[in-house]
Amino acid sequence: MSSDLDPILNDWSYRPDEITVRVIEGNDGRRKIQLRLDLGVLQMEFDGRPDGRRIHDQASWFDFHRRRQAEHEAANPDGAPYRLEPEDCAELLREGVQFYHRYICFWHLGHYELCARDTERNLRLFAFVREHARDDRDKLRFDQWRPYVTMMHARAVATPLVELEQWDAAANVVDAGIRGIEQFLEDYNQVAQASQVGELSFLRQWKEEILQKIQENVPGDTPASLETSPTAIAVAERGMELREQIDAAIREERYEDAAQLRDELRHLEG
């Protein structure tokens, strides 16, 4: 088999003005993500490290260091805390960039749950480095991205809720993202610069739009002429059952199930 990439590149044009990404089936039968670049293609796994590697029998460098930190703390309960050296942080940063490429692809593919998974992972990575890095400069190399990743995480979680018209739940998610960025500004004594943080401005504006939707959808008084036949009662009971199932699916992050239930509810109400 030839190693030449030209057949792939010639059949898949690079478009510099947009993210060009697709899902393919690999030779191993598993789904993979491909991101078209100007000089080639970046291919990533759906799960684990995007490059598919395992690190010292762990899923990632992050998992490896979390295991070492737990072992260190267990062996030295009253000793010095676990520390990440600059070379450790360099490995973790390269790995974090891989997850960045993948969650951006997930976002553009509409795989919001997977985008939320990877953004949440990188936020936990930032917190781990803040707590354990020996050098403050290493902490800042990671933490400078906290507002952006917090915003992307809020978008990934809230977007399916907005599509399902679960306005209250979406508002709560966006509000949590706002509080996360505000906490970042407090951590670095930059609260006065809040108006200059684009991620924060975006989430605040989005929250206002969602709150407006909540106001527009406040239920009014039940019309006096509403039919109360057995059929109408059965329809109302089924509607309540569907709403409960939608809420349960959202809590469990089964958004495809929630969307199907929502369609059934709309058909019933129609």
Mean of pLDDT values over 54-73: 96
Are the CB atoms for 112 and 160 separated by under 8 Å? yes
pLDDT at 251: 66
**pLDDT-derived band at 222, boundaries 50, 70, 90:** very low
**pLDDT-derived band at 219, boundaries 50, 70, 90:** low
Name the residue ranges covered by the structural domains of the chain.
165-217, 226-270
What are the tens digits of pLDDT across the range 176-204?
999 999 999 999 999 999 999 999 999 99
Q: Average pLDDT, whole number, for the chain?
A: 88
Burial of 82 (0-12, 13-18, 19+ CB in 10 A): middle
pLDDT above 70 (res 46): yes
Are the CB atoms for 41 and 11 separated by under 8 Å? no
**pLDDT-derived band at 238, boundaries 50, 70, 90:** confident
Locus of tokens 């509080």: 179
For residues 17 and 67, the model is more confident at 67
Helix and strand numbers, DSSP H then E, in the chain: 10, 3
pLDDT above 70 (res 226): no
Locus of tokens 């739009």: 209
Distance CA(115)–CA(118), nearest Å, equals: 5
- What DSSP string runs through 43-72? EEESSSSTT---BTTBSSHHHHHHHHHHHH
Distance CA(63)–CA(198), nearest Å, equals: 32
Whether the model clears a pTM of 0.95, i.e. scores above it, the answer is no
Burial of 244 (0-12, 13-18, 19+ CB in 10 A): exposed
Mean of pLDDT values over 238-247: 73
Are the CB atoms for 219 and 210 separated by under 8 Å? no
pLDDT above 80 (res 41): yes
Burial of 9 (0-12, 13-18, 19+ CB in 10 A): middle
pLDDT above 90 (res 141): yes
For residues 198 and 261, the model is more confident at 198
**pLDDT-derived band at 269, boundaries 50, 70, 90:** low
